[in-house]
C-alpha cells in the first residue's frame, strides 16, 4: 500500500536545472545576439514597421544598440523604447513564453528564454534597467539579479525583485553583467572574439543595418554586409515572392538565388580555399535575422533527396530564403536562432523550390567546364547588384550552353631512353622536336600504316 | 646571411634601449610574481648579450640558446659565456618541444625571448602559438621581429599579408595607411599583441595573458617587440596591478629611435639630467651643438639605457 503522502512524484523544475540546461547548447555570441534581438524587436515596434519583404523601406536610423565588452564586464544598452513595468511583471522574466503572451509583432523571440539564457551565460551579477514612456511620462525600474543568491534561495520562489531606479539617458534598456562566467571572461579577453563578434553582427543583422539601425561594439558602429547577386548578360537572379496562410496567419516567403561570384576555374580545393571566407551557399532569414548563413549542409538540402553534396565546383552560388510573419512561432528557426528547424512545415514546403534553383546552378557549373573561356567572358558581363534591387523573376536565368558531343579520349604515357627518342625525332626531320610531338607523330605513323583511313 | 655575420647587434643604440627596458621590466616582474628558479630560453647568437643580462640582472643560471645556423651553432658553443648555457642546434619550432622535455623544465617558469631578425612569417606565428600554449605557469614571453615594410609586400597587399599571418584579429578595414613605413611597426605591434591575447584566451590558460611589453624601435630597420606574462592563476592579480601602474615602462607608444651621438655630446647632455622640465633645443644650442627635437626627446627619455661606444685601437 502506497502511503497517501507518497502518491505524487515531485516533477517540479529546479532553478539549477534551468540555469545549467538553457545555457549549455548556445554560444556566447548567440546569447549576445538574443539581447540584440530584443532591442531590435523594440525598434521595429516603435517604428511601426512590418518587415514583410526586402522591399520594405522602414527607416530604423533613429535606433542604436551599444555593446561594450570589458575583461570583467558586459554591457548592452539601447534607445529602443524600454520594457514597461507591466511587461516586466508579467512576461519579460518568465521562463518560457506564456500562452497568452503577445507574439504577433514580427519579433524574432519565440520561446521566451533569450534574455534569461543570455544573462545566465554571461555572469552572475546582473543589473537590468529600463526607462519607458507611459501616458507621456517617463518611468523607470531596475531588476538586480544575483544569480548565486537566487539559486541559494531555494526552488520555491523563482521571482526577481523589481526596484525603483533613476531614469536612463534615453528610453530604452541597459543590461550590465559583472562577475563573468569563466567562458565569458575567457572570450572577452580575446580581441579575436570581439572582432569576430563585429563580423557576425555585420552579416546576421545586414538587413536591419541596411535600414539604418546602428549597432555599436566598443563605441564603433558596425557596417552591414552588402549582399549582392550578379545580374546582366545571360545572368538574372531569381526573386520570387509567396504568401502562405498557416494556422490562420500569413507567412511571407521570398526566395532569391543566383550567381554571387563566378565559379572557380579549378574545382579542386586549393590552398587558399577558405570555408570561413566562402560566402557561397544558402541563407535563411527569419523576420529580418539571418539564422543560417552560407550553408552547404543537409539542412538546406545539399546531399539529400537527390541533391549532390556541396563541392567547391559550386562556389559562387548564393540562395536566400526570407520568411516573415507576424507570428514568429510559425517561422522555421531553432531556439538558438542559429539554425533552421527542418521539421517546420513552411520550410519543408519551400525546400523543393530551393532545390530547383540549386540544381540549375549545379547543371550550369557542369556544362561550364566544357566552354570555360566562353563562360568566363559571359560571366564578366554580369555585375553585382544589391539583393534589394533584384527584379522579380520566377526562375534563375543562366546561360544556355549546348553541350558539345564529347569524343572519349585516351592519354598515352610511356618512357623510353632519351637517346632513342632523339634518334626518332631526327628521323622525323627535326632533332629538337618536342617529346609530345614525337609521340603524336609516331602514333599517326603507326596508325596510318596499320589501320589506314578511318 | 645570419645577423651575427653582418653586425654585432649588441652595439645598436635603439636595440640597447629596448633591451634595457625589457630587462628593467623583467626585474620588476620578478619582484611581483614568483620567477624563482626560472629558465632563460632565447637566441643567444655568438654574442649572448641578453643571456649576460639574464644572468646578471635576474640571476638566472639555467639557460638554453637555440641556433639554427650550422656554423653559428659551432661558434655559439665556442663563445658561450657561462657554463650553464646549453646551445641547441636547430630551428625553434623543432627544438622548443625538446627544451620543454628537459628534466624539470616543464615545472619551472620560463623567460623566453625569441628575438628574430626577420619579418613576421608563418613559422614565427607558429612559434608564438606554441610558446603561449606550452610555456609553464608564471612564464614571461617576448617576441621580436622586423617591421620593415617591404618584407610584407607591396603597399596594396600588406593588409592581406598581415591578415594571412595573424588571422581574425586583423580588422577587415585595416588600411594601406596603417601599413606604411612610419605606421607599420605600431600596427604590427598592436595586432601581434592582440594575437597573443586571443591565442591565450582560446587555450584557456588559467591565469590568462597580461600584456607587458610593446616596444617598436629603429636602428637601421624598424623592429617590434611584443610580450607578456602568463601568470599562474593566483599570480594574475599581482602581475596585472604591476603592469597597470603608471611607472611601468614596457609599453611604449612611439617608436624608439636613439640618436647616434658622440661620447662628448652624450657626456654634455647627460650632465644636464635628470631634470623635471623638458630639455629644449635652445639649451642644446647654448651647450654648443644641435639635435632634432625628436632626438632630444628620445635622449631625455632613454639616456639611462643608452650605451657608450668607443673604438679601441689596439
Point out the least confidently predicted range of A293-307, B68-82, B106-120.
Answer: A293-307
B129 at interface of A, judged by CB pairs closer than 8 A: no
Contact A192 B204 (CB under 8 A): no
pLDDT at B17 over 80: yes
Report yes or no on A104 lying in a domain.
yes
Q: Mutating which of B190, B194, B201 best tests the A interface, going by the most A Cβ atoms within 10 A? A: B201
State the total domains in chain A.
3
State pLDDT tens for residues A31-86. 999 999 999 989 988 888 766 678 778 899 999 999 999 989 999 999 999 999 99
Q: How much is the pLDDT for B262?
A: 83
Report yes or no on A394 lying in a domain.
no
A195 at interface of B, judged by CB pairs closer than 8 A: yes
Point out the least confidently predicted range of A401-410, A418-427, B239-248.
Answer: A401-410
Using DSSP's 3-state secondary structure scheme, residue B244 falls into helix
A191 at interface of B, judged by CB pairs closer than 8 A: yes
A196 at interface of B, judged by CB pairs closer than 8 A: yes
Contact B194 A187 (CB under 8 A): no
B241 at interface of A, judged by CB pairs closer than 8 A: no
A186 at interface of B, judged by CB pairs closer than 8 A: yes
Using DSSP's 3-state secondary structure scheme, residue B90 falls into coil
Residue A202: domain span: 15-221
Contact B168 A187 (CB under 8 A): no
Asked whether residue A161 falls in the same domain as residue A248, the answer is no
Question: What φ, ψ does residue B87 adopt, rounded to 5°?
Answer: -105, 125
Contact B198 A199 (CB under 8 A): no
Comparing CB atoms, the residue among B171, B201, B202 nearest residue A195 is B171
Q: Where are the domains of chain B?
A: 3-256, 263-313
Closest-CA distance of chain A to residue B199, Å: 8
pTM (two decimals): 0.83
B201 at interface of A, judged by CB pairs closer than 8 A: yes
State pLDDT tens for residues A134-174. 999 999 999 999 999 998 988 888 888 999 999 999 999 99
Q: How much is the pLDDT for B11?
A: 64
Comparing CB atoms, the residue among A186, A189, A191 nearest residue B169 is A191
Contact B201 A189 (CB under 8 A): yes
By percentage, how much of chain A surpasses pLDDT 70?
A: 92
Q: Mutating which of A71, A180, A181, A191 best tests the B interface, going by the most B Cβ atoms within 10 A? A: A191
Q: Higher confidence at residue A218 or residue A45? A: A218
Asked whether residue A92 falls in the same domain as residue A215, the answer is yes
Report yes or no on A397 lying in a domain.
no
pLDDT at A264 over 80: yes
Mean pLDDT, rounded, of chain B: 91
Report yes or no on A286 lying in a domain.
yes
Report yes or no on A406 lying in a domain.
no
Q: How much is the pLDDT for A276?
A: 42
Report yes or no on A412 lying in a domain.
no
What residues of A are in contact with residue B205 (Cβ under 8 Å)? Answer: none
What residues of A are in contact with residue B208 (Cβ under 8 Å)? Answer: 186, 189
Closest-CA distance of chain B to residue A206, Å: 16
Contact B201 A195 (CB under 8 A): no
Asked whether residue A103 falls in the same domain as residue A40, the answer is yes
Asked whether residue A101 falls in the same domain as residue A85, the answer is yes
Q: Higher confidence at residue B190 or residue A55? A: B190
pLDDT at A267 over 60: no
Asked whether residue A175 falls in the same domain as residue A264, the answer is no
CATH of the domain at A143: 3.30.565.10
What residues of A are in contact with residue B194 (Cβ under 8 Å)? Answer: 191-192
| Average of per-residue pLDDT across B153-158 | 91
B206 at interface of A, judged by CB pairs closer than 8 A: no
Point out the least confidently predicted range of A55-69, A72-86, A323-337, A399-413.
Answer: A399-413
Closest-CA distance of chain B to residue A225, Å: 12
Asked whether residue A233 falls in the same domain as residue A129, the answer is no
State the count of interchain CB pairs (< 8 A) between A and B. Answer: 36
pLDDT at A275 over 70: no
Model confidence at B174, in pLDDT bands (50, 70, 90)?
Answer: very high
Comparing CB atoms, the residue among A191, A196, A199 nearest residue B197 is A191
Closest-CA distance of chain B to residue A182, Å: 9
Q: How much is the pLDDT for A269?
A: 52
What residues of A are in contact with residue B210 (Cβ under 8 Å)? Answer: none
Q: Which of A339, A337, A351 is nearest to A302 (CA)?
A: A351
Alpha-carbon gap, residue A316 to A310, rounded angstroms: 12
Contact B194 A199 (CB under 8 A): no
Q: Which three cell numbers stand for residue A255?
A: 526566395
Q: Which three cell numbers stand for residue A389?
A: 534591387
Closest-CA distance of chain B to residue A25, Å: 19
Taking CA–CA distances from B164, the nearest residue in chain A reads A272
Alpha-carbon gap, residue A269 to A262, rounded angstroms: 15
Closest-CA distance of chain A to residue B184, Å: 19
Q: How much is the pLDDT for A93?
A: 80
Give the dihedral of Cα atoms A439, A442, A447, A452; nearest 10 deg: 140
Contact A191 B200 (CB under 8 A): no
Report yes or no on A54 lying in a domain.
yes
State pLDDT tens for residues A245-260. 888 888 999 999 999 9
Q: How much is the pLDDT for A376?
A: 87
Asked whether residue A87 falls in the same domain as residue A217, the answer is yes
Report yes or no on A233 lying in a domain.
yes
What residues of B are in contact with residue A195 (Cβ under 8 Å)? Answer: 168-171
Q: How much is the pLDDT for B68?
A: 94
Asked whether residue A295 falls in the same domain as residue A441, the answer is no
Comparing CB atoms, the residue among B172, B198, B204 nearest residue A191 is B198
State pLDDT tens for residues A372-394. 888 888 888 899 999 988 888 88
A372 at interface of B, judged by CB pairs closer than 8 A: no
| Average of per-residue pLDDT across B123-142 | 97
Contact A186 B194 (CB under 8 A): no
What residues of A are in contact with residue B200 (Cβ under 8 Å)? Answer: 189
* Residues in Cβ contact with A247 at an 8 Å cutoff, skipping those fewer than 6 apart: A327, A330
- Chain A (15-44) residues lying within 8 Å, Cβ to Cβ, of chain B: none
Asked whether residue A335 falls in the same domain as residue A426, the answer is no
HEC-encoded secondary structure of chain A: CCCHHHCCCCCCCCHHHHHHHHCCCCCHHHHHHHHHHHHHHHHHHHHCCCCCCCCCCCCCCCCEEEEEEECCEEEEEECCCCCCHHHHHHHHCCCCCCCCCCCECCCCCCCCCHHHHHHHHHEEEEEEEEEEEECCEEEEEEEEEEHHHHHHCCCCCCCCCCEECCCCCCCEEEEEEEEECHHHHHHHCCHHHHHHHHHHHHHHCHHHHHCCCEEEECCEECCCCCCEEEEECCEECEEEEEEEEECCEEEEEEEEEEECCCCCCCCCCCCCCCCCCCCCEEEEEECCEEEEEEECCHHHCCCCCCCCCCCHHHCCEEEEEEEEECEHHHCCECCCCCCECCCCHHHHHHHHHHHHHHHHHHHHHHHHHHHHHHHHHHHHCCEEEEHHHCCCECCCECCCCCCCCCCCCCCCCCCCCHHHHHHHHHHCCCCCCCHHHHHHHHHHHHHHHHCCCC
Q: Higher confidence at residue A220 or residue A264? A: A220
Cis ω before A323 (30° cut-off from 0): no
Q: How much is the pLDDT for A50?
A: 67
**CATH for B3-256 (3.40.630.30, 3.90.1310.10, 3.30.310.50, 3.40.50.150):** 3.40.50.150
| Average of per-residue pLDDT across A108-116 | 72
Comparing CB atoms, the residue among A186, A189, A195 nearest residue B168 is A195
B202 at interface of A, judged by CB pairs closer than 8 A: yes
Q: How much is the pLDDT for B158?
A: 94
State pLDDT tens for residues B73-99. 999 999 999 999 999 999 999 999 999
A428 at interface of B, judged by CB pairs closer than 8 A: no
Closest-CA distance of chain A to residue B201, Å: 5
Q: Higher confidence at residue B63 or residue A431? A: B63
Closest-CA distance of chain B to residue A198, Å: 10
| Average of per-residue pLDDT across A2-26 | 83
Taking CA–CA distances from A188, the nearest residue in chain B reads B201
Q: Higher confidence at residue A405 or residue A393? A: A393
Model confidence at A102, in pLDDT bands (50, 70, 90)?
Answer: low
Q: How much is the pLDDT for B310?
A: 67
Q: How much is the pLDDT for B39?
A: 97
* Residues in Cβ contact with B208 at an 8 Å cutoff, skipping those fewer than 6 apart: A186, A189, B200, B201, B230, B231, B236
Asked whether residue A139 falls in the same domain as residue A235, the answer is no
Q: How much is the pLDDT for B219?
A: 85
Q: How much is the pLDDT for B28?
A: 95
Contact B202 A199 (CB under 8 A): no
Closest-CA distance of chain A to residue B115, Å: 24
Q: Which of A214, A209, A216, A217 is nearest to A191 (CA)?
A: A217
B200 at interface of A, judged by CB pairs closer than 8 A: yes
Comparing CB atoms, the residue among B168, B204, B209 nearest residue A196 is B168
Closest-CA distance of chain B to residue A190, Å: 4
Amino acid at each position: 500500500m502506497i502511503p497517501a503522502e507518497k502518491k505524487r512524484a515531485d516533477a517540479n523544475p529546479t532553478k539549477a536545472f534551468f540555469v545549467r540546461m538553457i545555457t549549455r547548447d548556445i554560444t556566447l555570441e548567440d546569447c549576445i545576439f538574443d539581447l540584440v534581438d530584443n532591442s531590435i524587436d523594440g525598434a521595429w515596434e516603435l517604428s511601426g514597421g512590418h518587415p514583410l519583404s526586402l522591399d520594405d523601406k522602414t527607416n530604423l536610423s533613429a535606433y542604436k544598440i551599444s555593446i561594450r565588452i570589458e575583461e570583467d564586464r558586459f554591457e548592452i544598452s539601447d534607445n529602443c523604447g524600454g520594457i514597461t513595468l507591466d511587461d516586466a511583471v508579467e512576461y519579460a522574466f518568465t521562463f518560457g513564453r506564456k500562452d497568452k503572451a503577445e507574439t504577433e509583432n514580427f519579433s524574432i523571440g519565440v520561446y521566451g528564454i533569450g534574455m534569461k539564457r543570455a544573462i545566465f551565460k554571461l555572469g552572475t551579477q546582473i543589473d537590468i534597467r529600463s526607462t519607458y514612456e507611459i501616458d507621456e511620462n517617463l518611468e523607470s525600474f531596475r531588476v538586480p539579479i544575483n544569480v548565486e543568491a537566487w539559486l541559494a534561495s531555494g526552488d520555491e520562489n523563482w521571482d526577481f525583485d523589481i526596484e525603483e531606479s533613476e531614469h536612463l539617458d534615453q528610453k530604452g534598456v541597459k543590461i550590465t553583467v559583472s562577475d563573468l562566467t569563466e567562458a565569458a571572461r575567457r572570450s572577452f579577453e580575446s580581441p579575436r572574439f570581439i572582432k569576430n563578434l563585429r563580423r557576425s553582427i555585420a552579416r546576421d543583422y545586414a538587413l536591419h543595418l541596411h535600414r539604418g539601425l546602428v549597432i555599436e561594439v566598443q563605441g564603433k558602429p558596425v557596417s552591414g554586409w552588402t549582399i549582392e547577386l550578379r545580374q546582366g548578360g545571360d545572368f538574372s537572379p531569381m526573386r520570387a515572392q509567396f504568401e502562405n496562410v498557416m494556422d490562420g496567419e500569413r507567412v511571407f516567403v521570398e526566395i532569391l538565388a543566383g550567381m554571387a561570384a563566378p565559379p572557380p576555374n579549378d574545382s579542386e580545393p586549393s590552398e587558399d580555399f577558405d570555408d570561413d571566407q566562402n560566402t557561397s551557399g544558402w541563407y535563411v532569414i527569419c523576420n529580418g535575422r539571418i539564422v543560417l548563413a552560407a550553408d552547404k549542409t543537409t539542412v538546406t538540402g545539399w546531399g539529400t533527396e537527390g541533391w549532390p553534396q556541396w563541392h567547391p565546383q559550386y562556389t559562387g552560388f548564393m540562395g536566400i530564403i526570407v520568411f516573415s510573419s507576424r507570428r514568429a512561432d510559425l517561422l522555421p528557426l531553432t531556439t538558438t536562432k542559429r539554425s533552421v528547424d527542418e521539421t517546420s512545415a513552411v520550410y519543408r514546403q519551400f525546400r523543393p523550390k530551393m532545390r530547383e534553383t540549386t540544381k540549375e546552378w549545379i547543371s550550369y557549373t557542369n556544362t561550364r567546364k566544357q566552354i570555360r573561356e566562353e563562360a568566363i567572358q559571359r560571366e564578366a558581363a554580369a555585375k553585382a547588384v544589391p539583393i534589394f534591387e533584384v527584379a522579380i523573376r520566377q526562375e534563375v536565368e543562366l546561360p544556355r550552353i549546348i553541350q558539345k558531343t564529347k569524343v572519349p579520349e585516351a592519354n598515352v604515357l610511356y618512357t623510353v631512353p632519351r637517346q632513342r627518342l632523339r634518334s626518332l625525332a631526327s628521323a622525323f626531320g627535326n632533332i629538337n622536336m618536342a617529346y609530345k610531338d614525337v609521340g603524336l607523330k609516331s602514333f599517326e605513323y603507326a596508325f596510318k600504316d596499320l589501320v589506314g583511313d578511318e | 646571411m645570419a645577423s651575427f655575420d653582418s653586425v654585432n647587434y649588441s652595439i645598436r643604440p635603439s636595440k640597447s634601449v629596448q633591451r634595457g627596458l625589457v630587462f628593467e621590466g623583467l626585474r620588476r616582474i620578478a619582484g611581483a610574481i614568483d620567477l624563482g628558479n626560472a629558465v632563460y630560453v632565447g637566441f643567444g647568437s655568438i654574442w649572448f648579450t641578453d643571456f649576460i643580462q639574464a644572468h646578471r640582472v635576474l640571476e638566472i643560471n639555467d639557460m638554453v640558446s637555440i641556433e639554427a645556423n650550422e656554423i653559428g651553432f659551432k661558434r655559439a658553443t665556442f663563445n658561450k659565456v657561462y657554463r650553464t648555457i646549453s646551445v641547441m642546434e636547430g630551428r625553434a619550432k623543432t627544438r622548443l618541444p625538446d627544451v620543454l622535455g628537459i628534466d624539470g623544465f616543464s615545472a619551472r617558469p620560463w623567460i623566453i625571448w625569441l628575438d628574430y631578425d626577420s619579418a613576421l612569417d608563418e613559422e614565427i606565428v607558429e612559434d608564438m602559438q606554441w610558446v603561449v600554449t606550452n610555456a609553464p605557469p608564471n612564464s614571461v614571453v617576448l617576441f621580436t621581429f622586423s617591421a620593415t615594410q617591404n618584407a610584407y609586400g607591396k603597399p596594396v597587399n600588406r593588409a592581406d599579408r598581415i591578415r594571412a599571418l595573424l588571422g581574425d584579429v586583423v580588422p577587415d578595414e585595416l588600411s594601406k595607411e596603417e601599413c606604411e613605413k612610419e605606421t607599420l611597426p605600431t600596427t604590427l605591434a598592436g595586432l601581434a599583441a592582440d594575437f597573443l591575447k586571443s591565442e591565450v584566451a582560446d587555450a584557456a590558460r588559467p591565469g590568462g595573458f597580461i600584456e607587458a611589453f610593446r616596444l617598436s624601435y629603429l636602428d637601421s630597420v624598424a623592429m617590434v617587440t611584443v610580450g607578456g606574462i602568463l601568470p599562474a592563476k593566483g599570480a594574475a592579480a599581482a602581475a596585472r596591478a604591476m603592469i597597470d601602474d603608471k611607472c611601468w615602462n614596457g609599453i611604449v607608444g612611439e617608436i624608439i629611435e636613439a640618436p647616434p651621438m658622440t661620447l662628448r655630446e652624450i657626456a654634455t647632455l647627460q650632465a644636464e639630467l635628470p631634470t623635471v622640465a623638458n630639455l629644449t633645443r635652445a639649451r642644446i644650442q647654448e651647450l654648443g651643438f644641435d639635435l632634432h627635437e625628436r632626438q632630444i626627446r628620445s635622449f631625455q627619455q632613454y639616456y639611462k639605457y643608452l650605451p657608450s661606444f668607443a673604438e679601441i685601437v689596439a
